[in-house]
Structures are given as structure tokens and as C-alpha cells.
Amino acid sequence: MAAINIPDIYGRNYLIIFDTVKYIQVSDNEECGDLIITFTDKTRLVISVGLDRDEALGWLESVYRLLTPAAFTSKNKLWR
């Protein structure tokens, strides 16, 4: 089980448990730094992590780097 605490630009923190995350995307708007997290039950959570899209892409890259070693282990179906 992987869980990450993601802070937003307003001072709130979101504890995201990635066992229930389907995918993460970045807002299409260049002036909006939002991460959009879609869960397996089709609910969405929008977290403003930056002032523009580049800052949100930086956060997405950081989350990816943290989760990649945990996601591809021999116990995971993605590995086989």
C-alpha cells in the first residue's frame, strides 16, 4: 500500500492512498496547476498544486518517481 501526502497551494494537505487510484492527470489549462485524481469508484479529486501547468507536471513527475519502485514488483500483476 502506497500513500502520499500532497499539499495544495492553500495550505491543505491531502493523504492519497494509491490502492484506490485509477489514474492521475494534469489540467489541460496552461494557467491552471491542478492535479486531477480519478479513483476506482469514478470519483475525482482536484488538487491545486501550483500556479500553472508546469508546476503541476513537476508534482506529477515527483509522484511518479515515488510510486514507480512500489508499482513494479514481482508481486504485482503489472510486472508479469
Within a domain: residue 77? no
Within a domain: residue 78? no
Residue 79: per-residue pLDDT: 44
The candidate with the shortest Cα–Cα distance to 35, out of 14, 60, 4, 15, is: 60
What CATH number is associated with residue 18? 2.30.29
Domain span holding position 54 = 3-71
CA distances from 38 to 16, 21, 55, 80 (A): 11, 6, 19, 25
Q: What is the 3-state secondary structure (H, E, C) of 11-73?
A: CCEEEEECCCEEEEEECCCCCCEEEEEEECCCCEEEEEEECCHHHHHHHHHHHHHHHHHHHCC
Q: What is the number of domains present in the chain?
A: 1
Residue pLDDT, tens place only, 30-80: 899 999 999 999 999 999 999 999 999 999 988 888 877 655 555 555 444
Mean pLDDT value of segment 7-21? 92
Within a domain: residue 46? yes
